Amino acid sequence: MRITVIGTGYVGLVTGACFAKLGHTVTCVDIDEEKVRKINDGIPPIYEEGLEEILKANKNRIKATADHRSAIMSSDVTFICVGTPSRKDGSIDLTFIKETVIQTATILKEMNRWHLVVVKSTVVPGTTQNFVLPLLEQHSGKHVGTDVGLAMNPEFLKEGVAIPDFLNPDRIVIGSTDSKSTATLKELYKVFTCPILVTNLSAAEMIKYASNTFLATKISFINEIGNLCKHLGIDTYQVADGMGLDRRIGRAFLDSGIGYGGSCFPKDVNALLAWAKKNKENARITESARAVNNDQPLRLLRLLKKHIPKLRGKTIGILGLAFKPNTDDIRESRAIPIVQALLKEGTTIKAYDPQAMPAFKKLYPQLTYCSTAEEVLSSDAILIATLWEEFTMLDYRGKTVIDGRRLEQAKNAQTYEGVCW
């Protein structure tokens, strides 16, 4: 199939690259000429494990352009993968979706054959049906369902393992208005053996939000249990193992610590809450999951103060700044509220992260960034905020460590406290 992917963020580019790997002809569209040039040179503008190899190995089947028209006119399916940034109130901003749909529809007006438009961007329930569909019909002059196809196909990719997640999915969700759109997407995904669930447009959108919010809630739940376990010195990880053996529960996403960060969970939780509010609903469970997550990193600080009541003038080390290991992404990283609180206390901060220091430096130039993890160990106390593999190699003997991610080796420290175990 000939596929256009609009937006070359990590979802768009991984989707495009994986479809090319599967033998399809892919054109990635982005307004950023620099990104376009890089992709055409086989260099991914974002870091994602394995992406460069796929781009290079499938150069004959994937190209990038800033020209929407040529891409769409020569393809059968267009995936919309543009960003939906958060507004101040947590709701999502549909500006890029709107621009892209109008642009696509205007091009489709000239097309004298059927074409399928697929929304892959994360949008709150009702957006494709009530916002995208009318725009598409209005600007293309075509009827959705007969002249043009429309589908909603959420992604479930984790940063860092997005390629294996794409190529080995648990499920594929197709929200669709008509059988031709469904059949086209089923054809595209026919190489996968996982279940394919066909729903209407809004249910597909809700599956994405419900999945992310559920996983975020699962993390906050185990953190709450962990906070209780701490009172009796119960090992929360053993509790998680015990719970996880129940197939109805499952062990995944039960690692307790300082909470979830990243570009997805916090944003999607906020968007669901804003959307619930708009619908005059009180989403209490999700609200609580967010409240637990906001407090969890501050617990690390409270524990630190138990050991060093007067933080002013002290040097505190932070190991890990990325929102999770194996990425340079610091969006909503739990290290951010920790750093903010430490700065307020008047501490000097020594920090180290194998990948995320350049990004963090832009936000907090006043920290001392160390060139090795060992350098951080000379601080008055060390906080572990991200579980990077290399932190397992350090010698923590004689140190004070307050652990936010449960690093087994750090238990050798002279003083060791886990945030919720």
- Using CB under 6 A, list all residues that contact ligand UGA: 155-159, 212, 215, 219, 253-255, 257, 259-262, 264-265, 323-324
Residues in a beta bridge with 350: 317, 368
**18, 81, 264, 370: which one is catalytic?**
264
CB of 275 to ligand UGA, least distance (A): 16
Residues in a beta bridge with 150: 117
- 212 vs 400, beta carbon nearer ligand UGA: 212
CB of 300 to ligand UGA, least distance (A): 13
CB of 414 to ligand UGA, least distance (A): 27
Residues in a beta bridge with 369: 351
Sheet holding 148-152, edge to edge: 62-65, 25-29, 2-6, 77-80, 115-119, 148-152, 172-176, 196-199
CB of 246 to ligand UGA, least distance (A): 16
- 44 vs 149, beta carbon nearer ligand UGA: 44
Q: Are 402 and 383 in contact (CB under 8 A)?
A: yes
CB of 51 to ligand UGA, least distance (A): 14
- 257 vs 337, beta carbon nearer ligand UGA: 257
Burial profile 271-309: b = 16 or more Cβ within 10 angstroms, e = fewer: bbbbbbeeeeeebeebeebbebbebbbbbbbebbeeebe
- 326 vs 368, beta carbon nearer ligand UGA: 326
In the structure encoding, which two tokens stand for residue 178, read together? 């008509």
CB of 363 to ligand UGA, least distance (A): 17
- 265 vs 360, beta carbon nearer ligand UGA: 265
Examine the residue annotation and report whether 28 is marked as an active-site residue of this protein.
no
Q: How far apart are CA 314 and CA 177, in angstroms?
A: 61
Active site residues: 264
